[in-house]
Structure 1
Amino acid sequence: MTNGRNQTSPVPRSKLFDFHGVQMVNAFTNNWENIQNFKARPDDILIATYPKAGTTWVAYILDLLYFGQTEQERQSTIPIYRRVPFIDKAVTSLNEELNYNGVDLANNLPTSPRLIKTHYPVQFVPKSFFEQNCKIVYVARNVKDTMVSYYHFERMTQVQPEPGDWKDYFQRFLDGKVTWGSWYDHVNGWWQRKKTYSNIHYMFFEDLSENTDREITKLCKFLGLSVTPELKRQVTGQVQFDAMKNNKMTNYSTLNSKEMMDFNVCPFMRKGKVGDWKNHFTVAQNEKFDEDYKQKMKDPTLQFRTLI
């Protein structure tokens, strides 16, 4: 297994700290007051996920459904992370391209609806999204593939702690000692919120992988969007993994720098498959994981698939 430490990085990695009971780093807490005071509009659409659960995938689907036909220049010139701002993030850099303030970007979006994304657990989300009865699309991915994908992402991203080797990371992830905290708390927290807030559409990465067209149809129904079969075919084709991996506006390659993301270590879009965990978990790790999972996932109504 590849060691997670990137010895060539000139930028000190961030340190985890406890933030209101959740493990976080400065890049996602720096702008806390402005984030909490964010003024959502009734037609805003929030995409909420735990990291590496298909955030960019669903953001691109929504962007194409709403603006793919009318804002074509935007599609080819503005990266997805600026079209769909990441409200949690605030970083400053001498390199202007790397400066990022998610709140400012969201406030300055010219589109309607505004598409906004977050990795925050449900209790951290600005209250105005709920007060304005905004539609929220939550995407969840099975925890084994999430862990593997997150491990490789943390090897290459420079704004989060180094993951260490796979064995160490495996245990830290189980303990929730990673940025944005416990996967279990995140997916369960949003699942429980869905029971009292009807405007959450809870999607699964595995369902989207299995039948993208079907899941886009469900998404459109939730959003009240009427799209032609031709547009749906176009969107389905454009959001396939290989197409997105080769698209500079969706693959994050514009952030390829030793200060932000080191693509020499790993691409932002690596495999996008269901079941890649089997290439990483040992038999002993899998047994330990399954026992831990039984202890933490008590709600029988929330079910995940680790293979399709």
Structure 2
Amino acid sequence: MVSDRALKALKDYDVRDDDIWVTTYPKAGTHWAVEVVNLVLADGHEENIDRTKQPLPMEFDFHQPGSKMPDNIPRFPPENRIPQYEQGKSWPSPRVFMTHLPERMMPKQIYEGKGKVVFVLRNPKDIAVSMWHFLRPRKLNPKHEEWDTFFELYCTEKILNNSWFTFNLEFWNKHRDDKNFLFLKYEDMKRDLRTAVVQVADFLGRPLSDEAIDRVVDKTTLDSMKQRFNTADDNKSGKIGAQYIIRKGRVGDWKTQFTVAQNEAFDKLYREKMEGSDLQMDFKIKPQL
């Protein structure tokens, strides 16, 4: 799905000072955060968002001649088949990129202070369930088909994008104090979306009026995004429909899938991997203060 050519190009990508890179582990609320960013930049007016500038996570390069992808991966029209890292060079500022690139593969200029990164963290149990439901129908790996075999794979470094722990802790440990990084938690966004919108707006240097904040919040609820994204012409417009990116969006949905034994095993793994880290995740929504 990602070519060597794309990865090499991204490492030395020319980052603009006003670039915005929405970065997450898969199924951590990527499209949700991108929609918040887009609407903040548009003052809450969706009609001012150019969807054609964000058809796919920008490292994807699978529309090249001779590429082979499963039939159940959404296809895009010919004008969107140029690798997005190439398309992005001509986009007007501020550019918004969404990516699942691990820390070591992100453009080097970001770590020199160029651009801004909105990084979303989501608890690993809910991600496991969401990822399984996303991957299972795509049949990319026989181990994705049954929950038990997927769970075993998910607890290793052999899962897509490496383990949740490796991916997130590399960013958190190295960049949590960087001025051009904003770390948000999915669970906090679910608990208090308005505060998250204000955080994003302030971080981007785009403070909003109360009315604009209301517009952004109203359009970034789960129900609103499902209704607006799941349209017949999604692929024609460059949007990925809700049927591909939004399932439940709940905090604590892992309880519907994990067995008692699996939960105990994962808790043990979590304690081992997170030892010494000050990153704390919520596996249920805490009451709003």
User: TM class by shorter-chain length?
Assistant: 0.7 to 0.9
Q: Please list, as runs of the form range in 1=range in 2, the aligned pairs for 1:282-293 lying within 5 A after superposition.
A: 282-293=259-270
Instruction: Provide the C-alpha distance between the structure 1 equivalents of 2:120 and 2:274, rounded to a whole number of angstroms.
Output: 17
Contact 2:26/2:131 (8 A) holds in 1: yes
In structure 2, what residue type is equivalent to 1:177?
K
Q: Please list, as runs of the form range in 1=range in 2, the aligned pairs for 1:1-308 lying within 5 A after superposition.
A: 26-27=1-2, 29-68=4-43, 72=47, 74=49, 78=51, 82-83=53-54, 86-92=57-63, 97=77, 99=81, 101-110=83-92, 112-157=93-138, 160-162=140-142, 163-195=144-176, 197-248=178-229, 253-254=234-235, 267-308=244-285
Instruction: Provide the C-alpha distance between the structure 2 equivalents of 1:210 and 1:190, rounded to a whole number of angstroms.
Output: 24
Secondary structure in 2 aligned to 1:88?
A: coil
Contact 1:29/1:88 (8 A) holds in 2: no
Q: CA deviation at 1:230?
A: 0.3
Contact 2:39/2:45 (8 A) holds in 1: no
Secondary structure in 2 aligned to 1:91?
A: coil
The unaligned stretches of length 5 or more in structure 1 are: 1-25, 256-260
Secondary structure in 2 aligned to 1:90?
A: coil
Q: CA deviation at 1:101?
A: 1.5
Q: CA deviation at 1:108?
A: 2.4
TM superposition outliers: structure 1 runs of 4+ over 4 Å: 68-71, 93-96, 249-253
Considering only aligned residues, what root-mean-square deviation do their CA atoms show, in Å?
2.7
Instruction: Provide the C-alpha distance between the structure 1 equivalents of 2:193 and 2:232, rounded to a whole number of angstroms.
Output: 19
Q: CA deviation at 1:29?
A: 4.0
Distance 1:96 1:295, change over 3 A: closer
TM-score (norm 2): 0.84
Instruction: Provide the C-alpha distance between the structure 1 equivalents of 2:278 and 2:233, rounded to a whole number of angstroms.
Output: 35
**CA-to-aligned-CA distance 1:268-307 (integer Å, 9 cap, x gap):** 3110000100000011110111011111111341000001
Larger CA deviation: 206-215 vs 161-170: 161-170
Instruction: Provide the C-alpha distance between the structure 2 equivalents of 1:128 and 1:155, rounded to a whole number of angstroms.
Output: 36
Instruction: Provide the C-alpha distance between the structure 1 equivalents of 2:231 and 2:209, rounded to a whole number of angstroms.
Output: 24
Contact 1:140/1:204 (8 A) holds in 2: yes
Q: Which one has a larger percent helix, Structure 1 or Structure 2?
A: 2
Distance 1:45 1:144, change over 3 A: same
Give aligned pairs, total: 270
Instruction: Provide the C-alpha distance between the structure 2 equivalents of 1:291 and 1:237, rounded to a whole number of angstroms.
Output: 39
Aligned to 1:12: none
Distance 1:292 1:173, change over 3 A: same
Instruction: Provide the C-alpha distance between the structure 2 equivalents of 1:113 and 1:293, rounded to a whole number of angstroms.
Output: 38
Q: CA deviation at 1:28?
A: 5.3
Q: CA deviation at 1:223?
A: 1.9
TM-score (norm 1): 0.79
Q: CA deviation at 1:31?
A: 1.5
Distance 1:135 1:252, change over 3 A: farther
Contact 1:157/1:262 (8 A) holds in 2: no
Secondary structure in 2 aligned to 1:247?
A: helix
Q: CA deviation at 1:104?
A: 1.7
